[in-house]
Amino acid sequence: MPPILLASTACGVALVIRGPEGAFAAAAGTLFALAMLWILVSVFSPARVERTCPGCGGETLDRIDRGLRGLACPACGWEDREASAFLLAESEDAALEELVLAERGRPGRTEAAPRDVDGSRR
């Protein structure tokens, strides 16, 4: 259970027990501070790439077809064609824009389209 839910429950209990005078301001301030802390922790702690194979437990997961969907383990043969491989592609410094466009069935751009002075495309 996320800490913000536990904190909001504790603040609600404090509000009921102590009354609405100062408890409401303290509860609202505490909830706001905890929400901001949760957001900051989430923003500044990036996602970790998980390469552990569910089949054999080795650190050998790799992307199937070098795309954004599908994971496989060359050590034991385990594969999941529907699993997201986005974090693996991002950690390998792949050209994410080209991979996303290819998955959508659109051709990739080789160079940016020329723009007018106001920023619109020609």
Domain range enclosing 25: 3-44
Return per-residue pLDDT of the chain as tens, 122 residues: 577 778 778 877 877 777 666 767 777 788 888 889 988 988 888 777 888 888 888 888 888 877 778 888 988 988 888 888 877 777 776 677 777 777 777 665 555 555 556 655 55
> Structure pTM?
0.46
Indicate if 39 and 54 belong to the same structural domain. Answer: no
Among 91, 66, 62, 92, which residue's Cα sits nearest to residue 77?
A: 62
Domain count, the chain: 2
CATH number of the domain residue 68 falls in: 2.20.25
Indicate if 86 and 54 belong to the same structural domain. Answer: yes
Indicate if 24 and 56 belong to the same structural domain. Answer: no
Region of 86 (left: φ > 0; alpha: ψ -120 to 50; beta: rest) is alpha
